[in-house]
């Protein structure tokens, strides 16, 4: 058993608490990882807020991390101690019908136990002050050591800087893949990206790499426009600057609507606007943001009857074990940006400050 520091969420709506936790050794088909770097994501904040119906407490959050394999359980063949890895919140077992289908990346092998905050055998590897602590998204990267299923880990280039590539564990991969895998953005097309946070910027990067000729960023926070343009946005607008609905504004700007739109916020009203901003006959709108539990999307069916397509994406459609190492290689060869997404680097004990920075849009 390893004793180490972890940021424990004891209950919903309270700041994280830095505690000494015990991390049990990996059982069969499990991997224990020394986490070197982790990022914070709105999904962590969503669960911490208490709004997540799958949220279990007390829990160790975190799902964008990178580290080194410390030890492996019986039957683990794909990684060994000393390997550099990224934990994966969407695993890839290679055997379930989802993994065998090229149309999806949503491996279901450990979905039920992962959703309940436990390892595949139904138990936890974390304890603190005599209490069992739940796992989160199969990763729990807000701990100096974590244990994951062997299908939830990707071995990556040992030369990769872990304080950067940890971002490929969620946000950058999600946005980039939404553009290149889910939407399949084409050269010369016009795109609209709603929400210019980390995921939105990654979508812009994907649209640019795919050869889009016009990329319109939409956000209420104008402080985000300069960064969006660095990533490839050709122009940025705020819905607050117009008297009419933003979808009408976009239709006028683009002679009938955009070819591709992306919702990167998790707001069901914006999801509708994003669909309706698409061009009749061929427009495709991709939902990337995760809306709160119980919310529903609506539009007039005529929007779809007249040739628009509404799609959704999880982790950018990447089959995780196969794709994350390739994304790291693309970063190392400068095909995709990663460093530019990092605004602040903080010590682990300042993790609550990281959440404050995220909530204030900084």
Collapsed DSSP state (helix, strand, coil) of residue 273: helix
Instruction: Report the pLDDT value the prediction gives residue 361, as an integer from 0 to 100.
Output: 85
Confidence of residue 331 (pLDDT cuts 50, 70, 90): very high
CATH architecture of 2-169+319-360: Alpha-Beta Complex (3.90)
Provide the pLDDT confidence category of residue 60 given band limits of 50, 70 and 90: very high
Q: How many CB atoms lie within 10 A of CB 55?
A: 19
**Contact 362/344 with Cβ under 8 angstroms?**
yes
Cα 147 to Cα 55, 160, 249: the distances in Å are: 19, 21, 49
Model pLDDT, residue 53: 85
Strand 214-218 to strand 190-194: parallel, antiparallel, or no bridges (unpaired)?
parallel
- pLDDT reported for residue 146: 98
In terms of phi and psi (left: phi > 0; alpha: psi -120 to 50; beta: otherwise), the region of 294 is left
pLDDT digits (tens, 9 = 90+) for 99-137: 999 999 999 999 999 999 999 999 999 999 999 999 999
Which residue, chain included where needed, has tokens 């607050």?
A: 240
Domain range annotation of the chain: 2-169+319-360, 174-314
Note the pLDDT of residue 249.
98
Q: HSE on the CB side for 109, CA within 13 Å?
A: 21
Architecture of domain 174-314: 3-Layer(aba) Sandwich (3.40)
Q: What is the pLDDT of residues 267-287, one digit of tens each?
A: 999 999 999 999 999 999 999
Instruction: Give the pair of three-digit tokens for residue 146.
Output: 């974590």
* pLDDT per residue as tens digits for the range 305-323: 999 999 999 999 999 999 9
pLDDT confidence tier of residue 171, bands split at 50, 70 and 90: very high
């Amino acid at each position: 058993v390893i004793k180490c520091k972890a940021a424990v969420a004891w209950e919903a709506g309270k700041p994280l608490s830095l505690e000494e936790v015990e991390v049990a050794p990996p059982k069969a088909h499990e991997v224990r990882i020394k986490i070197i770097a982790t990022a914070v994501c709105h999904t962590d904040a969503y669960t911490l807020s208490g709004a997540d119906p799958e949220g279990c407490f007390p829990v160790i959050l975190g799902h964008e991390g990178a580290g080194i394999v410390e030890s492996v359980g019986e039957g683990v063949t794909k990684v060994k101690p000393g390997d550099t890895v990224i934990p994966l919140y969407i695993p890839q077992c290679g055997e379930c019908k989802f993994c065998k289908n090229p149309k999806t990346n949503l491996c279901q092998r450990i979905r039920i136990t992962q959703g309940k905050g436990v390892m595949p055998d139904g138990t936890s590897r974390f304890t603190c002050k005599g209490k069992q602590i739940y796992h989160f998204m199969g990763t729990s990267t807000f701990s100096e050591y974590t244990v994951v299923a062997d299908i939830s880990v990707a071995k990556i280039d040992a030369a990769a800087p872990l304080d950067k590539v940890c971002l490929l564990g969620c946000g950058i991969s999600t946005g980039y893949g939404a553009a290149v895998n889910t939407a399949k953005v084409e050269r010369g097309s016009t795109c609209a990206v709603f929400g210019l946070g980390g995921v939105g910027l990654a979508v812009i990067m994907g649209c640019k790499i795919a050869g889009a000729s016009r990329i319109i960023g939409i956000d209420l926070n104008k402080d985000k426009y300069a960064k969006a343009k660095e990533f490839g946005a050709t122009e940025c607008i705020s819905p607050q600057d117009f008297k009419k609905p933003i979808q009408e504004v976009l239709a006028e700007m683009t002679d009938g609507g955009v070819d591709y739109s992306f919702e990167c916020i998790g707001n069901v009203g914006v999801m509708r606007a994003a669909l309706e901003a698409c061009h009749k006959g061929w427009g495709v709108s991709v939902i990337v943001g995760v809306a709160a539990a119980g919310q529903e999307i609506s539009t007039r069916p005529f929007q779809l009857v007249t040739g628009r397509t509404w799609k959704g994406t999880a982790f950018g459609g990447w089959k995780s074990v196969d794709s994350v190492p390739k994304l790291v290689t693309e970063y190392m060869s400068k095909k995709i940006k990663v460093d530019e997404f990092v605004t602040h680097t903080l010590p682990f004990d300042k993790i609550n400050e990281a959440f404050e920075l995220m909530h204030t849009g900084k």
